[in-house]
Amino acid sequence: MPYYKDTDIVRYSDKGAEHISDIVVEEYPLTLFLEGREFVTLLCSPEDFGYLVTGFLLSEGFIKTNEDIDSMRIDKDKGIAEIELKGGSILAEKLYGTRTITSGCGRGPVFYNVKDSIDTQGLDKDGLKIGYQTIAKLMKEFDGRAIVFKKTGGVHSCALGTGEGIEIYHEDIGRHNAMDKVLGHAVQKNLNFGECIALTSGRISSEMLIKAAKRGIPVIASRSAPTVLAVELANRLNITLAGFVRGRRFNVYSGFNRIK
């Protein structure tokens, strides 16, 4: 399915009204059924549904590896993904328990809970070290790939890279979806998260930071700004957070020890 659509619009300016055709980005509702029960609708770009669903289940704690998924059936026309998990009943219990549903339904990830993040294990201080040049170089490559954004001005991009360059790259109208697609793709490729740098075009909020932390990704970098809560969590979890990466210049907010 295409990411965007030609649309008849009217462009107004001091020269008057002009009827033209312009490209507009698609927004697609994908409803997930887990163990036969409807539980969430994701508004996403209509591509890489398999990666999105896998990454979403990972980020929300329903699976730990790709192997935990017993089957996944995606009906693009109906906008439905049906997922069966191994050991489904235990997970379904977790999902449908009153406490989880009522505390977690947020505007960000569905089962978001700030307390969760405190339980997330911190990263090893003696792990990955990276050079200043690596972050600048990766962000340059990342920016160069922003194809849909340049066409439509309407999507976020996320990636995972190493010192060698970008390994996985995805775009989506939602910044959480873009990150989940990258994470879902990465587990399917068996990527070693501990050696990766996560890149995002959007703001680094607590939710984005927690997604990286839960996978054990030691560095997250953005073209945009972080929030105070994300910086506090990054400090606590020993994650290196870099913001406003633009050209050969950026700010580091936490995990200074990793930068060589």
Q: Which residues are catalytic?
A: 105
Residues in Cβ contact with 54 at an 8 Å cutoff, skipping those fewer than 6 apart: 63, 66, 69, 72, 183, 184, 185, 187, 188
Per CB under 8 A, 52 contacts a copy of itself: no
Per CB under 8 A, 154 contacts a copy of itself: yes
CB 230 within 8 A of CB 241: yes
Binding part of the chain for a copy of itself, among 69-77, 162-170, 191-199, 220-228 by CB under 8 A, reads 220-228
Q: Which of 94, 137, 145, 203 binds a copy of itself (CB under 8 A)?
A: 203
Q: Which of 66, 120, 188, 224 binds a copy of itself (CB under 8 A)?
A: 224
Beta strands 240-246 and 197-200 are unpaired
CB 83 within 8 A of CB 39: no
The amino acid present at 170, given as its one-letter code, is H
Per CB under 8 A, 230 contacts a copy of itself: yes
Give the integer Cα–Cα distance in Å for 241 and 227: 11
Interaction pattern, residues 157-176, with a copy of itself; x per rule: CB under 8 A:
----------------xx-x
Per CB under 8 A, 152 contacts a copy of itself: yes
Q: Which is nearer to a copy of itself, 161 or 174 (CB)?
A: 174
Alpha carbon separation from 105 to 39, 40, 86, 208 (Å, rounded) = 11, 10, 24, 16
Per CB under 8 A, 193 contacts a copy of itself: no
Alpha carbon separation from 96 to 81, 104, 231 (Å, rounded) = 18, 11, 32
Q: Which is nearer to a copy of itself, 191 or 220 (CB)?
A: 220
The interface with a copy of itself within residues 9-28 (CB under 8 A) comprises: 9-14, 17, 22, 24-28
Q: Which of 54, 134, 157, 177 binds a copy of itself (CB under 8 A)?
A: 177
CB 29 within 8 A of CB 79: yes
Give the integer Cα–Cα distance in Å for 155 and 200: 11
Q: Which is nearer to a copy of itself, 65 or 118 (CB)?
A: 118
CB 178 within 8 A of CB 158: yes
Please tell me what DSSP assigns to residue 15.
T
The interface with a copy of itself within residues 61-120 (CB under 8 A) comprises: 101-110, 112-114
Q: Which residues bind a copy of itself (CB under 8 A)?
A: 4-5, 7, 9-14, 17, 22, 24-29, 31, 37-43, 101-110, 112-114, 132, 135, 152-154, 173-174, 176-177, 203, 205-207, 224-231, 244, 248-253, 256, 259
